[in-house]
Amino acid sequence: MITLRLYKILKQIIYKINTLNKNKIEIVKLWTNASPTSSFAKQAINLDMTGYDYIDVYVVRNKGTDASFQSSAYRLRLPVDTHLIFIEPPNINNAEYYARGITITSSKDKITFTSGMRRTLNLSNLSTDTDEVVIPVEIYGIKGVV
Amino acid sequence: MYALNLDKDNRILSACNVLSIGTYEGMPIVDTLPEGDITDYKYIDGVYVYEPLPKADDNSARIAELKQMLADTDYIVIKIAEGVATWDEYPGIKEQRQAWREEINKLEQTSTTE
């Protein structure tokens, strides 16, 4: 019985290895924001993601310059046909706390973004919503992930 | 070339670079983008129409944002002050920080006089 069980486990492992060998991982750029210094309101972007297992969405906080992108880009990975809520950890500066976020929903043919949200927490002001934070800059499709 | 993602009222929501693998059905394809924030424009019959949305009068939020950006780039100034880096390694940062400080001063003056 134990031998048969081990045989089945080994067979599954060999199958997975063969699958990995056949399905090489591919990362394909699907979308580039042509104006990352502009605001980014809630919207849907049409993308054909047939065949992709995951997508990587790179976002920057604050519509900004190249310097902003280089210093504060985040990579958000989510499976196709799911959604992800991204909340940047709060930052403490001059007794003001910032938390930025965005919700991303992917399907086979589009990606939907909510507006970026910024929660500014200090003694007098609680929150501010703005389209000027959390700007998507690039989207990649990933194939071959088991 | 760029593909424009338009809202129902033709306001530009975003623009992307046209890629060979992409499909841009229903999206206008253009050679150039308008200056500044492209979401301040609508695209109507092949022409950019400048129609900025009203911005919330919230100087304090903008001031806080500018201070955050200054804080985020303070490490560059420290490295240069300590002699382990030069401004040449960070092109444009010095001018950008000056612009942020000037905008903070301007907004703080506006808030004071209101």
> Nearest Cβ partner of B13 from A34, A41, A62?
A41
pLDDT of residue A93: 53
Instruction: Check pLDDT > 90 for residue B10.
Output: yes
Q: Give A112: exposed, middle or buried? Use CB within 10 Å, 0-12, 13-18, 19+.
A: middle
Please give the model's pTM, rounded to 2 decimal places. Answer: 0.66
**3-state secondary structure (DSSP) of residue A89:** coil
Instruction: Check pLDDT > 70 for residue A72.
Output: no
pLDDT of residue A126: 47
CA distance B19 to chain A (A): 8
HSE-CB for B63 with a 13 A CA cutoff:
15
User: Does any CB of chain A come closer than 8 Å to the CB of residue B77?
Assistant: no
**3-state secondary structure (DSSP) of residue B46:** coil
Reference A36, options A106, A112, A122, A138; nearest CA is: A138
Q: Rounded to an integer, what is the distance from CA A93 to the centroid of its chain?
A: 26
A-chain CB neighbours of B33 within 8 Å are 34-35
A-chain CB neighbours of B14 within 8 Å are 33-35, 38, 40, 43, 45
Q: Which helix (H) or strand (E) holds B92?
A: none
Q: Which helix (H) or strand (E) holds A22?
A: helix A2-22
Check B60 against A125: CB less than 8 A apart: yes
